[in-house]
Amino acid sequence: MTYRYMTNNRMNLKKAAFPAVFLVASLCWSQQHAVPDASVPPPPMGWSSWNSFSNRIDSQIAVAQAKAMIDSGMARHGYQYINIDEGWWLGARDEAGNIVVDKKQWPALTPDEQPGDMSNIVKYIHSLGLKAGIYTDAGESGCSFYGPDLGPPMRHTGSEGHYEQDFLQFAKWGFDYVKVDWCGGNSENLDPALQYAEIARAIKKAEQITGHTLYFSICNWGKDSPWTWGPGIRGVTADIWRTSGDIVAPIVADSPNSGRRASYTGMLGNFDKGIHPEAQHTGFYNDPDMMVLGMPGLTDAQNRVHMMLWAISGAPLIVGADLTKLDPQTLAMLTNKEVLAVDQDPLGLQAIKIAGGDSSAEIWVKKLAGTTKDTGRRAVLLLNRSKNDLPATISWSEIGLKAGTADVHDAWTSKDLGQHINSYQTTVAGGDAVMLIIDGDETWEGPYRAVEISGKEFKDGTNKSAWRLSDVKSASNNTWLRIAYSNPGAEADLMELRINGERQSIISFPPTGTADKKAVTVEVRLKGGNAANEVVFSPAEPEQTTLDRAYIISIKQ
Ligand code: GAL
């Protein structure tokens, strides 16, 4: 679990809006303009062994994939993790409970190394400038026991009973990323939120002991809605959480399952299940699963749609295909610069669906940071799930931009489509998608209502343990809130977000480094149609009765 906090004083901070509600920086217009956006950690990019190698992963495969990540140029585009999934460990431990791995599967890679030491492969991956990921299960035995894909069932392939020992071991070996699966947890009927909190604490402890951070990936397929607790479980955080099952079972060349095919419908289903915009903020991400792009089963058009969907969701881009066999077309899709920039945008937000479906293409919009003109910037995905061509019209008002002129650009083809007034109209081919970048002016109207939270006492409202805004109105069901705060501490502050009495997520306010304020943008689900909503932020933990940082928040409605 990590918070690699970045500061970035970009100049695009003038306004934040959509469509009618704002939490902005400060008590007056000029101060509000002065607070820069925090630049949050982007979703991870890398490769995982599971989809193309199943549990046959070994040192040779990991070395070849790491080399391919460099040789293909993918690393230059930001791909960095080589993630070793199930099958690396067969469940053996020594008398002291330490994990023991097969010496042939993980040999020495240099004359001064010992076989059977996982730090050998980590050193190799690091020597290429890449990062290394490892895998375990929250239960006593993992998926390789409960549902082995290739090979016999392997007992005791989970970390339960050894959390502190195993995560310390992973950090000592030098791993940078750990994915924790749920096959054992599920079979034992464990509570995911409790179990992953315990794991998060073990990870935190391992980080404190070694000084080495472990990116924490929860993989419980969306059970018990991890997006409602992932960003802050009992005061500790996970970085990403899976929102659904696997898109595809592994397709391993020269194996009994080489005939499997990735399914386009499965990929679309995972995209839909991964949309929880209220939980995706300040560096925490919904994970719709590794990509199947480049694996057998999808056409070029379907691969293109897949790439655009993951990018507009700001999803982790973990490639499941064999990197040594990518054809030039697939490689070009995976490294499309402008589409990657949409995925990696420093506001770290997810797309929301604003229109379409039957007689017109779906319109998905993601608010982006940074423009060249100090204006509002949006990534817009037009998705056509039908076989027939469909029209799409994007009105500036629907995507939170002022009426008037905006620049329209095709992100996939990198072509300017000119200036357009008030709206843009196009046709999307059957089974295809279009990704646009639209630069216009943020909507910004109406008077302020300022609310200040500082120290223990809430200056607006009576409840001392919660910050409450009633009567928040929005034209649409989804709204972006911009919150300015300062957190000079070393840890993120975790606040629960409730809308109309319903818990939406935990919002994490990362360290700002200094007492200076930074702004983060989060998405919330409200009753639209300008109905009155109550928005409440309260300390995430019941025992945390006061806020020990200063938050200054104002709302415009
Ligand atoms: C699943 C998980 C996959 C892969 C597999 C290994 O539970 O969703 O991504 O890790 O286990 O068995």
pLDDT band at 151 (very low <50, low <70, confident <90, very high): confident
Phi and psi at residue 417, to the nearest 5°? -110, 10
What distance in angstroms lies between residue 320's CA and the mean position of ligand 1's atoms?
12
Q: Which of 349, 350, 323 lies closest to 335, judged by CA?
A: 323
CB-CB neighbours of 29 under 10 Å? 13
Flag whether the pTM goes above 0.75: yes
For 25-144, where are the E strands, in sequence order?
Answer: 45-48, 81-83, 131-137
Q: What is the mean pLDDT of residues 399-420?
A: 94
Residue 445 has pLDDT above 70, yes or no: no
Calculate how far, in angstroms, residue 219's C-alpha sits from the geometric centre of ligand 1. 8
Q: Residue 178 forms beta bridges with which residues?
A: 134, 216
Q: Residue 143 CA: which ligand 1 atom is closest?
A: 12
Q: Candidates 84, 143, 150: which one to mutate for ligand 1, based on the most atoms within 8 Å of Cβ?
A: 143
Distance from C-alpha of 61 to C-alpha of 324, rounded to nearest angstrom: 10
- AA identity, residue 553: I
Compute and round to an integer the Cα radius of gyration of the chain: 23
Task: Catalytic residue, from 58, 149, 166, 181: name it.
Answer: 181
Q: Can you tell me the mean pLDDT for 98-114? A: 98
Give the pLDDT mean for 298-314. Answer: 97
**Which SS3 state, helix, strand or coil, does residue 226 take?**
helix
Average pLDDT (464-469) is 62
pLDDT, average across residues 511-525: 81
Nearest CA to ligand 1 atom 7: 181
Whether pLDDT at 101 is above 60: yes
Is the model's pLDDT at 449 over the cut of 60?
Answer: no
pLDDT band at 532 (very low <50, low <70, confident <90, very high): confident
Instruction: Read off the pLDDT band of 235 (50, 70, 90).
Output: low
| CA–CA separation, 154 and 141 (whole Å) | 8
Task: Give the confidence band of 541 by pLDDT, cuts at 50, 70, 90.
Answer: low
Q: Which atom of ligand 1 is nearest to the CA of 149?
A: 12
Q: Is the pLDDT of residue 455 over 60?
A: no
Q: What percent of the chain is predicted at pLDDT more than 70?
A: 84
More confident: 33 or 499? 499
Q: What is the mean pLDDT of the chain?
A: 85
Q: Is 102 known to be catalytic?
A: no
Which amino acid residue places its CA nearest to atom 11 of ligand 1? 143
* Locus of tokens 């995430």: 540
Measured distance CA(320)–CA(51) in Å, rounded: 5
Beta-strand relationship, 362-368 and 352-355: antiparallel
Quick one: pLDDT band at residue 535, thresholds 50, 70, 90? confident
Residue 71 annotated to the active site: no
Q: How far is the CA of 142 from the centre of ligand 1 (A)?
A: 9
Burial of 63: CB neighbours in 10 Å, binned 0-12, 13-18, 19+: middle
Residues having CB closer than 6 A to ligand 1 are 50, 85-86, 143, 181, 183, 219, 221, 246
Element (H, E) at 438: strand 433-440
Is the model's pLDDT at 240 over the cut of 90?
A: yes
**What are the Cα distances from residue 488, in Å, to 3, 213, 223, 516, 538?**
14, 20, 35, 8, 19
Which of 46-55, 461-470, 489-498, 508-517 has the largest mean confidence? 46-55
